[in-house]
Amino acid sequence: MTAFVIGNVTEDLLFGLPRLPRPGETLIAGRRLSDLGGKGLNQAVILSRAGCPTCLLAPVGDDEVATRARALAEAEIGDARLLDMGGASDQSIICVAEDGENHIVSSAFAADALRPDRIRRALSDLGPGDVVVVQGNLSFETTRAALQAARLGGAATVANPSPIRWPWTDLYPLVDLVIVNRAELSELGGSDDIATAVARLKAAGAREVVVTLGAKGAEFHGDDGVIRAPAVPVRTVDTAGAGDTFCGILVAARQAGLSPEAAMAAAARAAALTVGRAGTYSAFPGPSEIYNILHERAGAP
């Protein structure tokens, strides 16, 4: 019952700004924070903290960021395989406005250097009960290889197609659960209407679709209609990492056998904790907070 996360690792530089910059504008940051991140590392950390046996397969460079990432991943994740691609590790610049909105720019040099054969070899012993989780940072070929390996081994698949770097259409038949935010859904589904866009992803082969709507919560579009999970009210500090928290908890909860309703509610509660704190990795809920959420302990946030 292992979750294999195939994704990226970055060094995140986060700048807190009064508002997001306009084209051509330079703003002075009121706060600056450096954190390890990347959607692969983030989601693997959350899955692991949720008690799900987790394997992270992620490309890094040959530098000080890779050394720090290795130490963190080995401390947090049962099976952390950070693959040395040489050169510099990838980075993200995250601008966070006072209202919590963000802009993110990432490099993907190490991510692009990871080739499909390395993933095929690493995933050759998958089995039913396992789940493969991918995001949008790696190349199309490598992402497809991960999903194909999952199908071959009878494992479930989850895709969080962010950032959108290439068309996903050919991959939907390989995906059991797609988790997207509102903007990504509009782009992938070619419509601002949620029902229309979701129907298009499903028609292309995706089995279930979860749409996250920021402060408006999230919707699960499964076989039996739509399940809504309202956002948990919180004082917004910065929303960076909310999506990864939501994905990680949703997958861990489903792996643990929770119903879609319970899994969505747990994901919303955990994501609200991340929204209420600064940073990405450093904002994530801890293992005991996640335990309380998954077991609906009285007094849980």
Binding of ligand ATP at residue 262 (CB under 6 A)? no
Which of residues 87, 217, 227, 262 is near ligand ATP by CB under 6 A? 217
Which of residues 149, 212, 221, 263 is near ligand ATP by CB under 6 A? 212
How long, in residues, is the chain? 301
For residues 176 to 205, the per-residue mask of contacts with ligand ATP, x marking binding by CB under 6 A and - elsewhere, is: -----x------------------------
Which of residues 213, 227, 237, 256 is near ligand ATP by CB under 6 A? 213
Which of residues 218, 253, 265, 294 is near ligand ATP by CB under 6 A? 218
Which of residues 61, 243, 260, 285 is near ligand ATP by CB under 6 A? 243
Question: Of 39 and 202, which CB lies nearer to ligand ATP in the complex structure?
Answer: 39
Q: What is the 3-state secondary structure (H, E, C) of 44-91?
A: HHHHHHCCCCEEEEEEECCCHHHHHHHHHHHHHCCEEEEEECCCCCEE
Consult the annotation and say whether 87 binds a ligand.
no
Consult the annotation and say whether 269 binds a ligand.
no
Question: Of 135 and 143, which CB lies nearer to ligand ATP in the complex structure?
Answer: 135
Cα–Cα distance measured from residue 135 to residue 6, given in angstroms and rounded to the nearest whole number: 8
Q: How many CB atoms lie within 10 A of CB 154?
A: 11
Minimum Å gap between C-beta 10 and ligand ATP is: 13
Q: Which of 74, 175, 55 is nearest to 124 (CA)?
A: 55
Query: C-alpha distances in angstroms, 227 versus 83, 152, 215, 224?
Result: 38, 30, 16, 9
Minimum Å gap between C-beta 54 and ligand ATP is: 19
Cα–Cα distance measured from residue 215 to residue 142, given in angstroms and rounded to the nearest whole number: 33
Contact 52, 257 (CB under 8 A): no
Token code pair at residue 66: 């890779």
What residue has token string 């509009």?
A: 186
Consult the annotation and say whether 127 binds a ligand.
no
Q: Output the residue with the shortest Cβ distance to ligand ATP.
A: 243
Which secondary-structure segment (H or E) carries 116? helix 116-122
Binding of ligand ATP at residue 231 (CB under 6 A)? yes
Q: How many residues lie near ligand ATP (CB under 6 A)? A: 24
Phi, psi of 17 (to 5 degrees): -125, 160
**Can 244 be counted among the known catalytic residues?**
yes
Binding of ligand ATP at residue 275 (CB under 6 A)? yes
E strand map for the chain: 3-6, 10-16, 31-37, 54-60, 79-84, 90-96, 102-106, 131-135, 156-160, 177-181, 208-212, 218-222, 225-229
Minimum Å gap between C-beta 247 and ligand ATP is: 8
Q: Which stretch binds ligand ATP (CB under 6 A): 90-98, 139-147, 230-238, 290-298?
A: 230-238
Cα–Cα distance measured from residue 114 to residue 84, given in angstroms and rounded to the nearest whole number: 9
Binding of ligand ATP at residue 93 (CB under 6 A)? no
Judge if the upstream peptide bond of residue 260 is cis by omega within 30 degrees of 0. no
Minimum Å gap between C-beta 220 and ligand ATP is: 11
Catalytic residue IDs: 244
- Residues annotated in the binding site for K(+), as ranges? 238, 240, 274, 277, 279
Interacting residues with ligand ATP (CB under 6 A): 100, 102, 181, 212-215, 217-218, 231-232, 234, 236, 239-244, 246, 268, 271-272, 275
